[in-house]
Chains A and B, each alone.
Chain A
């Protein structure tokens, strides 16, 4: 074997025939190490629970990892400490010299030209940075102030710069010196508050979700009886969710159509919606050009529950009471507990609404017994899932 082949060596596993399964196997090690982000991690864990081959591989990965953890037993000799101390220079290291702080990374702006107003888009924080030319009476020698506002601020007036800001305000920061430590500190505080606010909102969503699923259990029945479901979901990453749902559908032997991207399969005629009973928690899924409607037709026997479908889409990821199908609720501390947020149940045939993280989810039955697509689905042993994806945006406080 040549050296360059050794670098990329990957044995062919005769147990897995599909490239999708091979890609998933590449994530097993990261899953064992808890290094997969929540949506992908849930998908991989769900697959492991269904695939005996991957279960065996996970066991082997864990054992080998544990064995390797015991390899490091070497200790340095005492003479090494003496050598190090003897090699140190006589002069002390000294203190670092004071330097001006660099400009904030979120607002790499050049000073405004004579135009008076320059707007630059900050990076992942989604903030807008504006340099305003003020009168020479302002603090900085150039008369400029730096203001950083959130993307939700649709109108902006220079007089707002004069009022003090708070961590929850639309105007995040006003400063005469964008290079100051205080500016950094206040911006970091705002970003932390933003993160905590979203986390609290997600936590509230999770609890509502778990309570609602528990309350629906007495009325749940097999999804195969309904023929199909339409789900409307608000998700963080539309592309990622769409890809995961499509990959799941293909994995279980179904077909996908109506995607915005390539690899569309045979078209499926969708039945009209039945009922409009919807209720949303106070988040604001935005209807943008990135919204998608995808249709999956999968073998009815492979869809155990609506929750399974939503798990594929990464709708689960936080704390919640575990509900096991056909039994009493299982607490997280019991031996039969699933990972937090993992819920199993069955799909109700009637119109209903579910509320789940990270945004609102609604599900409606497709078709009545006389409907042709329903009959076609029943005859083919498949179930049709129409999933409408839109972007999730946490509401402002």
Chain B
């Protein structure tokens, strides 16, 4: 099974069905990890053609992504695309990621800091970008963009410990530590809900974690 999309989801019954149907046009299988949803996320995703892996309780985005990627490697996927379940990422960008995986280990999408990105996200992203550059020597635009792809062969080197929103930054830290070949590509984004996703407190925690990883060399 060459390419798999892993989509962690929690209470996304409104959007998950459409996303799965669109993503299936570009990958061989879609794995939706239901991270303790209280609504019909699993059923909607399954009806649309996704394979469901369900957490009994909510663990967080990082844990859900890890479950999905562990499962994808067991299913012998060669390329893994990870994306969000809220319709923020355009499935038609997937071929760009898969194409770049022919020469790079990891492909990271970046969103433009245009007028559509909420101000708080823009400021927070800039701060985390700066922290990545100072702490890990990697200039990565939009470190919190969850639209990424990597080869299964490098998954064990990338495999993260963070159970929460720190997963994106930890991946970047691991790319630096393991000297993986990476590239960034621009993606389109839609912000349907300004208040969803990482909060200011999450941002502070992410920067704190980055400092901890660097100082303690714990990744």
A binds B: no
